[in-house]
């Protein structure tokens, strides 16, 4: 297995240094988008980039681009990178690994005195996680023309703070337009966030595409009443209805085979008082499938299920779709660059579809794109126990480096 090229200890140290920002007692990180912790991570990243001779630009969504000059700076750049924001109880590697691996690629090229024909840009995207401002991948979505800037600026967190105000508060509402200039290609390196690579003993995933995703808000409205005097059979209890509806959702999605996914991430009652039957239950529903037609079928079944349950027993059931990302097939030129890199380095690899959404999903709509995965222990992510091996981190970064060099060779041929 080849691991020549990058300095794995230097990469590992940067990951550790970044993980100190927003560090949690259990070993994870809390760097919600556009908080003081996020600001600190941005400033450290920019300092590192400037030390390597990069020029920095920040767009109106707070996306940070570090540019390494090429031989021909009039040519479209190759874009690499990921994100530095995290889940509320997130891991050290989700997103940050891809950003810092890109930084290591830049420094390795400096060490080797190598300059690519085209310029290279390393990006850290704003609010990839969607943990503070929904939906996820918001800034890369604006960049790719999926969302308007006005829509993004008005997204609010649970305290009513809008993304636009949060950008201003930390000083990262940049002066340039958040829109996609021309790029030759884009590559994103990320931890798998699932167990497949580890279970089959592969060091790298050659990501050929991404599952389709639909997000919903489920609202079930009944009637608030005292927990004691009202008999069970006379209540318009939205919790009882929610139990029925959610079980039906899980059952219907499972019928679409092992590639189908459904997750109910949050459940809340209103008014949320111990001795009061709620008047409302709200829940979030996330469904996924790599096949677009099957995902559409799952969507229609959910709609029918909700309609069948609506206004029965005096209880109103409503399902609102808030986000839809269709399945993605990545660009063959970029997939081949990653494939070639694994072969050159003799690194065991698997061609696979991503189960999670990434900024690369939106980039693929406007430029040739692919992704690289490395294993994470037990497939655990969005968790403080998230863990990767230093050798896997090095292998993935070397694959990124050699994929860029392959693109440079094919560009010149």
Q: What is the pLDDT of residues 196-251, one digit of tens each?
A: 999 999 999 999 999 999 999 999 999 999 999 999 999 999 999 999 999 999 99
How many angstroms separate the CA atoms of 277 and 224, rounded?
5
Provide the token pair at 295.
């995902």
- pLDDT, mean of residues 262-268: 96
∠ CA 319-322-328, nearest 5°, is: 120
Q: What is the pLDDT of residues 172-187, one digit of tens each?
A: 999 999 887 799 999 9
Task: Please identify which residue in the block is written with the tokens 């590639």.
Answer: 259
Q: What is the DSSP annotation of 316-360?
A: EEEEEEEEEE--EE--HHHHHHHHHHHHHHT--EEEEEESS--HH
∠ CA 117-411-342, nearest 5°, is: 100
Query: What was the pLDDT predicted at 411?
Result: 81
Q: What is the largest CA-CA distance in the chain?
A: 81
Residues 321 and 214 sit within 8 Å (Cβ to Cβ):
yes
Helix (H, G, I), strand (E, B) or coil at 406: helix
Residue 385 predicted with pLDDT over 90: yes
Kindly give the pairing relationship between strand 261-270 and strand 280-289: antiparallel
Rounded percentage of the chain residues whose pLDDT exceeds 90: 94
Query: What was the pLDDT predicted at 79?
Result: 98
Provide the token pair at 194.
């699932």
Q: What are phi and psi of 252, to 5 degrees?
A: -65, -35
413 half-sphere exposure, CB direction, 13 A CA radius: 6
How many angstroms separate the CA atoms of 337 and 206, rounded?
10
Chain-centroid distance of CA 273 in Å reads: 35
Residue 236 pairs in a beta bridge with none
Element (H, E) at 391: helix 390-412
Q: What is the pLDDT of residues 34-56, one digit of tens each?
A: 999 999 999 999 999 999 999 99
Q: What is the pLDDT of residues 297-315, one digit of tens each?
A: 999 999 999 999 999 989 9
Task: Please identify which residue in the block is written with the tokens 């696979």.
Answer: 352
Indicate the average pLDDT of the chain.
96
Q: What are phi and psi of 52, to 5 degrees?
A: -90, 5
Q: What is the pLDDT of residues 97-139, one digit of tens each?
A: 999 999 999 999 999 999 999 999 999 999 999 999 999 999 9
Residues 387 and 167 sit within 8 Å (Cβ to Cβ):
no
How many angstroms separate the CA atoms of 259 and 291, rounded?
9
How many angstroms separate the CA atoms of 227 and 229, rounded?
6
Total Cβ atoms within 10 A of residue 215: 22
Look at residues 126, 153, 130, 120 and name the one whose alpha carbon lies nearest to residue 140.
126
Element (H, E) at 394: helix 390-412
Provide the token pair at 198.
């580890």
- Per-residue DSSP letter, 59: B
- What are the residues whose beta carbons fall under 8 Å from the beta carbon of 308, sequence distance 6 or more? none
Question: Considering the entire predicted model, what is its pTM?
Answer: 0.84
Residue 57 pairs in a beta bridge with 65
∠ CA 323-326-329, nearest 5°, is: 145
- The end-to-end CA distance of the chain, in Å, is 28
Query: What was the pLDDT predicted at 3?
Result: 41
């Amino acid at each position: 297995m080849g691991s020549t090229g990058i300095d794995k200890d230097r990469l590992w140290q940067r990951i550790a240094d970044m993980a100190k920002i927003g560090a949690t007692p259990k070993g994870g990180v809390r760097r919600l988008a556009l908080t003081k912790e996020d600001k600190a991570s941005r400033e450290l990243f920019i300092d590192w980039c400037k030390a390597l001779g990069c020029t920095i630009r920040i767009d109106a969504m707070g996306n940070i681009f570090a540019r390494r000059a090429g031989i021909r700076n009039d040519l479209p750049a190759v874009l690499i990178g990921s994100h530095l924001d995290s889940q509320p109880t997130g891991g050290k590697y989700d997103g940050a690994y891809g950003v810092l691996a890109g930084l290591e690629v830049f420094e390795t090229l400096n060490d080797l005195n190598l300059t690519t024909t085209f310029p290279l840009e390393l990006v850290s995207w704003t609010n990839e996680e969607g943990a503070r401002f929904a939906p996820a991948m918001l800034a890369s979505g604006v960049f790719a023309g999926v969302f308007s800037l006005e829509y993004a600026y008005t997204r609010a967190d649970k305290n009513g703070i809008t993304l636009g105000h949060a950008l201003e508060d930390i000083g990262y509402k940049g002066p340039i337009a958040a829109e996609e200039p021309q790029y030759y290609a884009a590559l994103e390196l990320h931890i798998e966030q699932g167990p497949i690579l580890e279970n089959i003993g592969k060091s790298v995933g050659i990501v050929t595409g991404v599952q389709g995703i639909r997000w919903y808000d489920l609202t079930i409205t009944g009637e608030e009443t005292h927990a004691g005097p009202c008999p069970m059979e006379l209540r318009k209890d939205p919790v009882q209805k929610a139990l029925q509806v959610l079980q039906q959702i899980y059952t219907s999605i499972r019928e679409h085979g092992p590639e189908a996914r459904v997750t109910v991430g949050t459940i809340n009652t209103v008014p949320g008082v111990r001795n009061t039957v709620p008047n409302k239950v709200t829940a979030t529903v996330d469904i996924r499938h790599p096949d677009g037609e099957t995902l559409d079928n799952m969507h229609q079944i959910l709609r029918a299920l909700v309609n069948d349950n609506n206004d029965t027993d005096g209880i109103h059931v409503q399902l609102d779709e808030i986000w839809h990302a269709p399945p993605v097939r990545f660009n063959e030129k970029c997939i081949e660059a990653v494939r070639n890199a694994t072969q050159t380095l003799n690194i065991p690899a698997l061609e696979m579809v991503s189960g999670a959404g990434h900024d690369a999903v939106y980039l693929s709509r406007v430029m040739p794109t692919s992704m690289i995965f490395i294993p994470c222990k037990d497939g655990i992510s969005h968790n403080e126990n998230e863990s990767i091996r230093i050798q896997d981190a090095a292998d993935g970064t070397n694959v990124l480096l050699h994929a860029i060099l392959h693109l440079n060779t094919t560009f010149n041929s």
